[in-house]
Amino acid sequence: MPNARIAGIGMYVPEQVVTNFDLEKYMETSDAWIQERTGIKERRYAKRTGETTTTMGVEAAKLAIKNAGITADEIDFIIFATLSPDYYFPGCGVLVQRAMKMKEIGALDVRNQCSGFVYALSVGDQYIRSGMYKNILVIGSDKHSFGLDFSTRGRNVSVIFGDGAGAVVLQPTEKEGQGILSTHLHCDGNSAEILAMYNPGTHANYWVDEKLADFDDAEIGQMFMSHAMVDKAQNFPFMDGPSVFKKAIVKIPEAVMEALDANKLATTDIDMLIPHQANLRISQFVQQQLGLPDSHVYNNIQRYGNTTAASIPIALYEAWAEGKIKENDIVCLASFGSGFTWGSALIRW
C-alpha cells in the first residue's frame, strides 16, 4: 500500500496589508493591545470584488501544481477546505475545477474551519493509500475580511483574522516510511456555540430557548430577514476567546503526542512543528509544553493573522521555501478550531 507524499506546495496572500494601526481607525484598539494578546502585527485583506476564496485558492493551487512538476490536467481529485465559500452553495471545489479548466474530476468541500486543512489532508491521504487517485489537489483558503464586525463591539474577533490560501499536491510514494505517516482527527460538539457564526442558519428549533431567548416568535420565523439578527450581531462570528484558548492548549499537544506515539517517535524527533496559526500565545504555550526549541516551531501569524483553513499550508510553504524543512525531516501539523475539532498529521518529508 503506497503512502501519500506532498509532491508540490503553494500559497497565495492578497497584496493589501492591513496593520494594527489601520484597525485603530475603525475600533477602540491599539497595536500594543493586539500584539500582547495575539502576537499579530498585520494581516492581508482580499479585494472587495474580484478576489474570492476560490480565486485565492486557484493561485495557491497553480504554484503547488508547478512545484509538483505536473499540469492541472493531471489532477484527478480536488479537496477544498474553507469556512468562507464564494456561495452558500455550490462549494469552492467545483469552482476551482472550472477556473483551472480541469477534466470532469470529482471535488469535495470540507467544512472543518481551522482544522479544515488537516481534515482535508487526511481524506486525501486515504484516497492515495487506496489507490483510487494519483494526483490530489488539497486547498485551504479563507476570505474573512468580507464578514467581520469592524466596530469596537467586534474587535476581539476582527483583529485576529486575515485572508489567504495554501495548497498541496498529494501523490503516492512506495518508499517505506516516507510521506504522510499518519493522521489523527477528533471533535467535541459540546462547546460548539462558543466559537461559531450563528446566522444564516436553520438552528433555531434546536437551541433557540438557550441562545436566542431575546427573539420573539416572529423574529425567529423570519431569521434570515430579521433586522434583529443584525442588531444582535448574529451575522458575525462569535468567539469566547478564553474558553477556546484553554481548550486549544490541551488538545493540540495531545494531538501531537498521539501522532508521535502512533509512529513510535518522541518530541525530540520533531524537526518542524507547524501549528494552526490561531494565536501566537497558543503556539508558544504548546511549544513550551512539548519542550521544542524555537528553531523547530514555525509561526507566521505575526504577518498574516489567522487565515483558518489556509494557515497551516501557508506556514508549511514558507517554512519549506525558507529551507527550514528538508528531505527526511519529521514534520508535524497540528490544528484546533471551531466545533470543537482538532487533529494532527505526521509527515516524513
Q: pLDDT tens digit string along 114-140? A: 999 999 999 999 999 999 999 999 999
For the CA atoms of 290, 291, 292, 294, what is the dihedral angle to 10 degrees? 120
State how far the Cα of 258 lies from the Cα of 344, in Å rounded to an integer.
Answer: 8
114, 144, 199, 279: which one is catalytic?
Answer: 114
92 part of the active site: no
Q: Which three cell numbers stand for residue 129?
A: 493509500
Nearest of 213, 214, 212, 191 to residue 201 by alpha carbon: 212
On the question of pLDDT at 152 being above 80, the answer is yes
Q: Which three cell numbers stand for residue 159?
A: 483583529
Which CATH superfamily, name and number, covers 179-190+239-348? Answer: Thiolase/Chalcone synthase (3.40.47.10)
On the question of pLDDT at 205 being above 50, the answer is no
Topology match between the domains 3-173 and 179-190+239-348:
yes
3, 92, 135, 276: which one is catalytic?
Answer: 276
On the question of pLDDT at 160 being above 70, the answer is yes
Is the sign of the CA dihedral 104, 109, 114, 119 positive or negative? negative
Q: At what angle do helices 280-290 and 241-262 cross, to 10 degrees?
A: 40
Query: Which residues on neighbouring strands pair with residue 272, listed in sequence order?
Result: 331
Structural domain spans, the chain:
3-173, 179-190+239-348, 198-235
Nearest of 272, 251, 258, 255 to residue 317 by alpha carbon: 272
20, 67, 199, 306: which one is catalytic?
Answer: 306
pLDDT confidence of 238, banded at 50, 70, 90? confident
Query: What is the percentage of the chain residues whose pLDDT exceeds 70?
Result: 90
What is the per-residue DSSP string for 54-71?
HHHHHHHHHHHHHHHT--
- Amino acid in position 54: T
276 part of the active site: yes
Nearest of 345, 339, 336 to residue 251 by alpha carbon: 336
pLDDT confidence of 239, banded at 50, 70, 90? confident
Mean pLDDT throughout 263-269? 98
Region for residue 166 given its phi and psi (left: phi exceeds 0; alpha: psi -120 to 50; beta: otherwise): beta
114 part of the active site: yes
Q: What is the pTM of this model?
A: 0.92
The yes or no reply on domain 3-173 and CATH 3.40.50.300 is no
Q: How many angstroms separate the Cα of 345 from the Cα of each of 5, 86, 244, 277?
A: 12, 28, 21, 15
Other CB atoms within 10 A of residue 26 CB: 14
